[in-house]
A and B are shown apart, each in its own frame.
Chain A
Amino acid sequence: MLTYAKSINRALEETLLQDERVYLFGEDICDPYGGAFKITKGLSSRFPERIYNTPISEASITGIVAGMAVRGFRPVLEIMFGDFLSLAADQILSNISKFHWMYNHKVAVPVVIRTPMGGRRGYGPTHSQSIEKMFLGIPGIKIVAPSYFHDVGDLLKIAIQDDDPVLFIEHKLDYSRTLKTIINGRVDDWFARYTGDVYPVISLSLTDFEDDDVTIITYGGMVPFVEDAAKKLLFEEDIATEILIPSLIKPLNVNELIPSVSKTGRVVIVEEGTLTNGWGAEIAALLSDEGFKYLKAPVKRIAALDFPIANTKILEDFILPDTEDIVQTVKEIL
């Protein structure tokens, strides 16, 4: 029974052991503290020379790992809260994502920037956001956001070995969750499949992918809400859903979505970031381009309201999308 957090910790430990090019950087990541979310606990005791506790300087440490990567290392940077990626944005946009292409393929920048996103912990407007959407439009980086159905540690190892820079998005609520392992096409109540890509898309269905009415596309920390909604829809409304959960949310391969969409003709996209100009908007546009002939209803997006995230629970819950939003939206398009 491995938690999401432990899986990441173990992957880092194994990678440090196996690949001497790997170094970790971040704020408060060394023992005894082991990181704000304890993800790096124990690593600095075992690899004291390769774990760098840094000052609170997100811009600089992001540039530093870029420099390390260009010169042959495989650095992994932890940004304590995903919200703080705004401080690192210039390094990601102007350097990390550009060097490889701009320097005409003469360098690679194999950095992994790990960071927790997401709300529902009452951390307020600047420690609860899901701002990976702000990086979706940048050519030259990958964004990987594993759900707890993915082997998150394995994906982290793959990201570290990826020659492209990777933003690795972890949801705070996922850390304590136990990973769900697909065995013989089943996991919990679900029938499950996954594509063979290095960053797989997982498909879930309660009805063994027979006669699903709706395709719900989601990722990361929204997955448990979508699961609950799918169960409610089936048991209370007799509506069957297929859930698609990409791990590589950017660039997204629309061809991985089409088989399900061509069967159901109805699509709802669920994300925790704000609605406007979000991940869902891009998928809706992609489906309009590539899957229009299959669509029987407008593509719907479920996301956070276009507000900052309030501190108080009642308002935070109101602003962030939840199970009921998904149930209602699915019913609207049937």
Chain B
Amino acid sequence: MSSIFKRENDMHLRLKMYEQMYLIRLFEEKMEELFKKGVLFGTIHSCAGQEAVAVGIINSLSQTDLIIGNHRSHGHYLAYTNDVEGLMAELMGKATGVVGGRGGSQHIHKNNFYSNGVQGGMVPVATGMALAEKIKKSGNIVVCFIGDGTLGQGVVYESMNIASLWQLPILYVVENNYYAMSTRICDAVAGLPVNRGRAFDIESSELTSNDSDIIYNGSEDIVKKVREKCTPYFWVINTYRLSGHSKSDDRCYRTKEEEMKWAELDPLLIAESKIPRELRLQIEHNCMKRIEDTAEKVKKDVLPSKEGLADMMKLTI
């Protein structure tokens, strides 16, 4: 059940996390580019700037743990599955997508990863999954990612109350990027976010970091606690989304100065300073090639057929 990586941020793990973060960033940038070219349709929510949270936490998990994502989950998904092709095909609406083009960016499932698009809507589902794992005595835990905006939803607190009452093995991660779309956290969240976990007698803590090593180390301890004590945990991580909320966001609600300040705390910059240049360039090259090659390949994939749709609807209803 233990993680395959040792503590102390050995170089192997550090390189892996850098590669994942770089891949996620390139993925998000590529998707933006494809939107501009008209290859993609609809919308996406980029997680550029928040990659350290995804890779730091997910690398500290066991492969059989469960991950519940949200509307901004490309990073969580890629860190967990490494399935660039499936996600890219999904965003392009292809039959080869993770869920055959039915879900798109926000509504995907593979192995033990589940996401959906309504704010807070997956929090009780994640909590129920934690109960399922507890009853099965699987030793698995559930990690449920939400954002600061999600703290406005009542069902989050109903679920945290139950997770505490029933002592469920679930880690609630609040990725506070300070904005719910355009609404600043100070206009939407009263008091300290971390206190909301404490109100339910759930052990809670707060971390401000874009450093994947620091998040990984913190997560390893927390995950161990959640697993071994079979208890919930509420973790607020303060980070920043470098991109807009969605593809149509002009970011008019943030100042250039603020963005510049956070750009200096870009998780990629923090990570790259800790690895040898040659290795870094090699990783970056590989990621670029992988994203470009995958995009070219997936563009040629087939679209879902209407005939398949009709057959499947008969099965469900």
Partner-B contacts on A (CB < 8 A): 23, 52, 54-55, 57, 59-68, 70-73, 90-91, 94-95, 98-107, 139-140, 142, 164, 251
Contacts and interface: CB of A to CB of B under 8 A. Distances in A.
A57 B102 contact: no
Contact of A64 (B109, B116, B154, B159): B159
9 contacts: A55-B158, A57-B158, A57-B162, A61-B124, A66-B124, A67-B127, A90-B121, A91-B124, A100-B316
A104 B102 CA distance: 7
Contacts of A55: 158, 161-162, 165
* Interface SS majority for chain B: helix
A95 B122 contact: yes
A46 B155 CA distance: 31
Contacts of B122: 63, 95
Contacts of B313: 101, 139
B316 A64 contact: no
Nearest to A101: B316
Nearest to A140: B316
B99 A90 contact: no
Contacts of B162: 54-55, 57, 60-61, 64
B124 A64 contact: yes
Given A70-B114, A94-B118, A106-B99, A101 B312 contact: yes
Nearest to B127: A64
Given A59-B154, A68-B132, A90-B121, 11 more contacts: A23-B135, A57-B158, A57-B161, A60-B123, A60-B158, A61-B158, A64-B159, A70-B129, A101-B316, A103-B103, A139-B316
Interface in B133-173: 133, 135-136, 154-155, 158-159, 161-162, 165-166
Contacts of A61: 124, 158, 162
Contacts of A103: 99, 102-103, 107-109, 114
Contact of B125 (A64, A73, A101, A164): A64
B100 interface: yes
B230 to A, nearest CB: 15
B317 interface: yes
Nearest to B126: A67
A65 B127 CA distance: 9
B132 A67 contact: yes
B102 A66 contact: no
Contact of B128 (A66, A105, A251): A66
Interface of B: 98-100, 102-103, 107-110, 114, 116-118, 121-133, 135-136, 154-155, 158-159, 161-162, 165-166, 312-313, 315-317
B99 A63 contact: no
Nearest to B112: A71
Contact of A102 (B99, B155, B159): B99
Contacts of A57: 155, 158-159, 161-162
Contacts of A64: 124-125, 127-128, 131, 159, 162
A101 B102 contact: yes
A71 B170 CA distance: 15
A65 B155 contact: no
Given A63-B121, A90-B121, A73 B99 contact: no
Identify which of A59, A71, A139, A164 gathers the most chain B CB atoms within 10 Å of its CB: A71
Contacts of A107: 109
Contacts of A67: 124-132
Contacts of B166: 52
B153 to A, nearest CB: 9
A266 to B, nearest CB: 29
B151 to A, nearest CB: 15
A167 to B, nearest CB: 13
B73 to A, nearest CB: 14
A145 B144 CA distance: 35
Given A59-B154, A95-B122, A106 B127 contact: no
A251 B117 CA distance: 26
Considering the complex of A and B, which 5 residue pairs feature the smallest CB-CB distances, nearest first? A67-B128, A63-B124, A60-B158, A64-B128, A57-B158
A98 B118 CA distance: 12
Contacts of B129: 67-68, 70-71
Given A55-B162, A60-B158, A95 B109 contact: no
B124 A60 contact: yes
A101 B158 CA distance: 27
A164 B155 contact: no
B312 A63 contact: no
B301 to A, nearest CB: 15
Contacts of B109: 99, 103, 106-107
Contact of A105 (B114, B117, B136, B312): B312
Nearest to A63: B124
B47 to A, nearest CB: 21
B123 A63 contact: yes
A52 to B, nearest CB: 8
Contacts of A105: 312, 315
Contacts of A73: 132, 135
A54 to B, nearest CB: 7
With most chain A CB atoms within 10 A of its CB, the pick from B103, B312, B316 is B316
A137 B215 CA distance: 45
Given A55-B165, A103-B103, A60 B127 contact: yes
Contacts of B315: 105
B131 A68 contact: yes
A238 B128 CA distance: 57
B102 A102 contact: yes
A54 B280 CA distance: 52
B103 to A, nearest CB: 5
Contacts of B118: 90, 94
Contacts of B107: 98, 102-103
A105 B313 CA distance: 10
A316 B109 CA distance: 47
